[in-house]
Amino acid sequence: MEQDVNIKITDRDGVTHEIVAPTDMAMNLMEVVRSYELAPEGTIGVCGGMAMCASCQCYVVSKHELPVMTDDEEAMLSEAFDVKENSRLGCQIQITPDMEGLEVELAPES
């Protein structure tokens, strides 16, 4: 039985949202942010989740084992602004049961 996971997302205004994300809809973090409208339309997931822009960059605060970065994601982050050690593209983080308790902060809009 698939279960939903609890994740904390701090938006660009510094407000932390505790949300419940489904693990059975093959959603990624960027899509969750969009569906909960935690970032203004057109400021996140601009490329549609293809790792071709960095509009969904986020900082992973919790100590989760995340999927290894793809070359595309790494290349995109190497050109992005405000990149930190814990930067990831939200579109590359799938919402799975392992993501229970995930905490991320949205990077500033570039």
pLDDT digits (tens, 9 = 90+) for 48-83: 999 999 999 999 999 999 989 999 999 999 999 999
Whole-structure pTM over 0.85, yes or no? yes
User: Which amino acid belongs to residue 108?
Assistant: P
Mean pLDDT on 96-107: 97
Residue 85's nearest CA partner among 57, 109, 43 is 57
As a whole number of angstroms, the distance between CA 21 and CA 76 comes to 26
Per-residue buried b or exposed e for 28-60, using 16+ beta carbons within 10 Å of the residue's own CB = bbbbbbbeeebbeeeebbeeebebebbbbbbbb
Q: Is residue 49 within 8 Å of 93, Cβ to Cβ? A: no
pLDDT at 3: 87
Mean pLDDT rounded to a whole number for the chain: 95
